[in-house]
């Protein structure tokens, strides 16, 4: 069997055995709203919003981290083959898929004016996303340590919340000083951000032990 798949309420984890990689996908079901007096969403605008978010998330998250994997007790042939094929660490790709029936997340997409003060947000517990169209553009951001950026991208940051990763830009976060982190004000994925996926992986393929360092 070339795939070992785990369908979770928050996404689908797919170990692609014959390619030695992991593929993660979320299905997003959209509801479209508008801030008056803006016109209703056109089909092209809807496609542009989804495709832009998809590209931004792929660009930040995919192929940025290799997940360490080793053989554990009683590995079967699939586990041995994966570890041998990937050389001890597995690349992971991320994708969001626009679906026409309820999926992993219900996304309320709101068309807003540029410069709007509305802030996009995610609830992992309810599997809901509110995304405002002005957040497609890079913006300025500052963390509670006083570090600043002019190139903060909201969609990849909010995507982290969909896999239950906390904000790191606030006072009290152990990672406040890691300003380059995507969950802070930067654009880099850290192994710690993949903990939920790694926990899932460790229940998928007996004889394989996946890790995500906390640092």
Quote the pLDDT of residue 214.
75
Q: How far apart are CA 34 and CA 39, in angstroms?
A: 7
How far is 174 from 172, CA to CA, in rounded Å? 6
- What gap in Å lies between CA 59 and CA 185, rounded to an integer? 16
Residues in Cβ contact with 88 at an 8 Å cutoff, skipping those fewer than 6 apart: 68, 69, 70
Contact 20, 79 (CB under 8 A): no
Q: Rounded CA gap, 200 and 145, in Å?
A: 33
Q: Return the pLDDT at 93.
A: 98
Coil, helix or strand at residue 214: coil
Q: Which residues pair with 29 in a beta bridge?
A: 99, 106
Q: Is the pTM of this model over 0.75?
A: yes
Report long-range pairs for 9-15 (Cβ below 8 Å, ≥24 apart). 9/104, 9/127, 10/104, 10/105, 10/124, 10/127, 10/162, 10/163, 10/164, 10/196, 11/104, 11/162, 11/163, 12/104, 13/197, 13/200, 13/201, 13/204, 15/82, 15/90, 15/201, 15/204, 15/205
pLDDT at 169: 98
Tokens of 67: 């997940």
Per-residue confidence in pLDDT tens, the chain, 215 aa: 699 999 999 999 999 999 999 999 999 999 999 999 999 999 999 999 999 999 999 999 999 999 999 999 999 999 999 999 999 999 999 999 999 999 999 999 999 999 899 999 999 999 999 999 999 999 999 999 999 999 999 999 999 999 999 999 999 999 999 999 999 999 999 999 999 999 999 999 999 999 997 76
Angle at Cα 28 formed by Cα 22 and Cα 34, nearest 5°? 145
What pLDDT does 1 receive?
60
Torsion over CA: 118, 112, 180, 56 (sign): positive
Domains of the chain: 3-203 (3.40.390)
Compute CA distances 75 → 66, 79, 209, whole Å: 21, 6, 10
What is each CA distance from 119 to 8, 66, 127, 129, 207, in whole angstroms?
Answer: 27, 31, 17, 11, 43
């Amino acid at each position: 069997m070339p795939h070992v798949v785990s369908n979770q309420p928050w996404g689908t984890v797919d170990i692609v055995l014959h390619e030695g990689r992991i593929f993660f996908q979320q299905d997003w079901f959209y509801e479209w709203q508008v801030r008056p007096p803006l016109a209703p969403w056109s089909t092209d605008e809807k496609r542009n919003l989804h495709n832009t978010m998809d590209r931004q998330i792929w660009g930040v998250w995919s192929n940025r981290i290799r997940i360490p994997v080793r053989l554990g007790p009683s590995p079967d042939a699939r586990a041995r083959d994966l570890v041998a094929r990937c050389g001890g660490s597995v690349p992971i790709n991320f994708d969001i898929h626009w679906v026409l029936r309820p999926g992993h997340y219900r996304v309320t997409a709101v068309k807003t004016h540029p410069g709007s003060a509305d802030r996009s947000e995610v609830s992992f517990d309810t599997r809901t996303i509110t995304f405002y169209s002005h957040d497609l553009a890079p913006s300025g951001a500052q963390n509670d340590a006083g570090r600043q950026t002019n190139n903060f991208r909201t969609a990849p940051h909010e995507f982290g919340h969909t896999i239950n990763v906390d904000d790191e830009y606030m006072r009290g976060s152990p990672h406040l000083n890691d300003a380059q982190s995507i969950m802070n004000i930067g654009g880099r994925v850290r192994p710690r951000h993949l903990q939920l996926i790694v926990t899932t992986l460790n229940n998928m393929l007996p004889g394989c032990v996946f890790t995500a360092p906390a640092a």
